[in-house]
């Protein structure tokens, strides 16, 4: 297997998909029986447009058919990977973060995934022009598949652009062209339509919106100054007119609390987080002031502003599986840290802060996270384990089953209900006198043995 990504032409991908579906009953190795069917899981017939799925909601004034998707990562760079996530039920697609430096040498190995995950990979592996091309191809293929598979619901798919890492780079001509292209992809879509007319005329007249995305998540380097973060967000809101989400670091919870969770509650005593990781990162009170200011900027322009919880957690490279002296933790061990940060911010803003959640989400806790008011919930580490994208189907089956058991007809109703007493109580309903750590923390005790990587 190559350690380099090799994008394929649009017509090659579509022919591959159609031939595989016809002869093998699958697309990119995913069996048709395991495709997510809107309104009916993997087995029920398609729900009519008049009876919207309980999983359907609105985000950035768009219909979002399911509240889950892949988080920006190595698995959201190529068109076929995005299609695999979509086939498995993802409808919020966080595109891989791009930046002006697009010719980096990514160290190998760059990801160490057991139960929790570690990585030293932090930027795209494609050129900016290639990234834009992959995202547009995926956008077109998703709309073609929606028609091909006979889904009558709205397409309900939102692509979320992710950019980094400083204002100078984001304002550079190459990055500006990248954002312009995703805002209006008329020209590349015209080329795709030409290929459809010549080779796949049955799809030539399908409506494919020329605007791939009107929303963005800002990812900044660990230690980025608050004024730099504010300047970038203001640029994205005021000059680009984009619904904007800023990714925050788990260090906002504070050194004492983070280390107590990792060392004492979870047993990760081998983890060492240098003091400068906390010293250089945005502090909680700075983040609160920043969010309040930017909420006002967004509201004045009729745009949405929210936060992404959370980024990875920087630490010393104690495992020595990956190259270098530092690495970044993701996955299940980050869940109790980030859910507590979510609780703190939700209480701070009285539930009025839009939160996109991505830190240790899995099929077993996704309903709890949605019940806390997060929208959407995205995943990286869990999809990089055995089972891959097919894990997403269990997320949706569990959410629908638990919503039915709680009598919630919509995600908003789910978030308005009291949670069962045996579940973590994070989010806007907790009182100030309740303990800082949610009850019912996940049973992660690596010092006593790890859960198998294939467990779901």
| Domain-located, residue 138 | yes
Return the CATH number at 75: 3.20.20.70
| Per-residue pLDDT tens over the stretch 12-31 | 999 999 999 999 999 999 99
| Domain-located, residue 68 | yes
| Per-residue pLDDT tens over the stretch 178-235 | 999 999 999 999 999 999 999 999 999 999 999 999 999 999 877 788 999 999 999 9
| Domain-located, residue 306 | yes
Q: How confident is the model at residue 143 (pLDDT cuts 50, 70, 90)?
A: very high
Assign 92 to helix, strand or coil: strand
| Domain-located, residue 449 | no
Q: How many domains, the chain?
A: 1
| Domain-located, residue 382 | yes
| Domain-located, residue 1 | no
Contact 355, 345 (CB under 8 A): yes
| Domain-located, residue 440 | no
Q: Tell me the mean pLDDT in the region 268-283.
A: 91
Whether the predicted pLDDT of 124 surpasses 90: no
| Per-residue pLDDT tens over the stretch 307-350 | 999 999 999 998 888 888 999 999 999 999 999 999 999 999 99
Q: How confident is the model at residue 51 (pLDDT cuts 50, 70, 90)?
A: low
Q: How confident is the model at residue 364 (pLDDT cuts 50, 70, 90)?
A: very high
User: What DSSP line would sit under 387-434, residue for residue?
Assistant: TGGGHHHHHHHHHHHHHHHHT-SSHHHHHHSPPPTTS---STT--TTS
Tokens read off for 422: 């045996």
pLDDT given for residue 317 in this prediction: 93
Of 419, 356, 362, 442, nearest to 394 by C-alpha is 362
> What angle do helix axes 128-148 and 186-199 make, rounded to 10 degrees?
50
Structural domain including 32 reads 10-432
Whether the predicted pLDDT of 429 surpasses 80: no
pLDDT given for residue 192 in this prediction: 98
Assign 5 to helix, strand or coil: coil
| Domain-located, residue 238 | yes
| Per-residue pLDDT tens over the stretch 259-269 | 999 999 999 99
Whether the predicted pLDDT of 446 surpasses 80: no
Contact 317, 327 (CB under 8 A): yes
């Amino acid at each position: 297997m190559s350690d380099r990504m090799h994008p394929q032409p649009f017509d090659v991908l579509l022919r591959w998909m159609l031939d595989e579906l016809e002869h093998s009953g699958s697309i990119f190795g995913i069996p048709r029986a395991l495709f997510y069917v809107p309104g009916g899981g993997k087995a029920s017939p398609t729900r009519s447009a008049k009876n919207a799925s309980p999983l359907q909601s609105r985000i950035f004034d768009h219909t979002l058919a399911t509240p889950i998707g892949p988080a920006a990562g190595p698995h959201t760079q190529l068109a076929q990977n995005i299609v695999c996530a979509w086939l498995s039920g993802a409808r919020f697609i966080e595109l891989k973060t791009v930046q002006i430096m697009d010719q980096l040498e990514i160290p190998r190995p760059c990801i160490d995934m057991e139960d929790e995950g570690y990585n030293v990979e932090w930027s795209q592996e494609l050129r900016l022009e290639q990234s834009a091309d992959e995202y547009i191809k995926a956008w077109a293929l998703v709309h073609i598949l929606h028609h091909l598979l006979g889904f009558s619901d709205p397409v309900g798919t939102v692509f979320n652009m992710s950019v980094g890492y400083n204002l100078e780079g984001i304002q550079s001509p190459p990055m500006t062209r990248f954002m312009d292209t995703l805002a209006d992809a008329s020209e590349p879509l015209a080329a795709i339509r030409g290929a459809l007319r010549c080779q796949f005329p049955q799809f030539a007249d399908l409506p494919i919106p020329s605007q791939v995305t009107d929303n963005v998540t800002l990812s900044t380097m660990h230690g980025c100054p608050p004024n730099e973060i504010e300047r970038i967000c203001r640029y994205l809101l005021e000059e680009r007119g984009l619904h904007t989400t800023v990714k925050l670091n788990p260090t906002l919870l504070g050194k004492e609390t983070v280390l107590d969770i990792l060392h004492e509650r979870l047993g990760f005593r081998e983890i060492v987080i240098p003091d400068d990781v906390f010293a250089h990162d945005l502090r909680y009170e700075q983040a609160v002031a920043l969010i309040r200011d930017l909420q006002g900027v967004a509201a004045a322009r009729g745009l949405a502003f929210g936060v992404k919880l959370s980024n990875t957690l920087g630490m010393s490279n104690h495992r020595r599986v990956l190259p270098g002296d530092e690495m970044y933790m993701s996955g299940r061990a980050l869940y109790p840290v980030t859910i507590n940060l979510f609780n703190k911010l939700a209480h701070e803003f009285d539930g009025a802060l839009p939160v996109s959640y991505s830190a240790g989400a899995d099929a077993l806790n996704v309903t709890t996270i949605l019940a806390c008011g997060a929208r959407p919930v995205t995943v990286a580490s869990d999809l990089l384990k055995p089972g891959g994208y097919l894990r997403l189907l269990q997320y949706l089956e569990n959410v629908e089953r638990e919503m039915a058991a709680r009598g919630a007809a919509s995600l908003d109703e789910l978030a308005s209900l009291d949670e069962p007493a045996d579940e973590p109580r994070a989010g806007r309903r907790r009182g100030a006198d309740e303990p800082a750590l949610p009850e019912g923390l996940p049973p992660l005790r690596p010092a006593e043995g790890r859960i198998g990587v294939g467990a779901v």
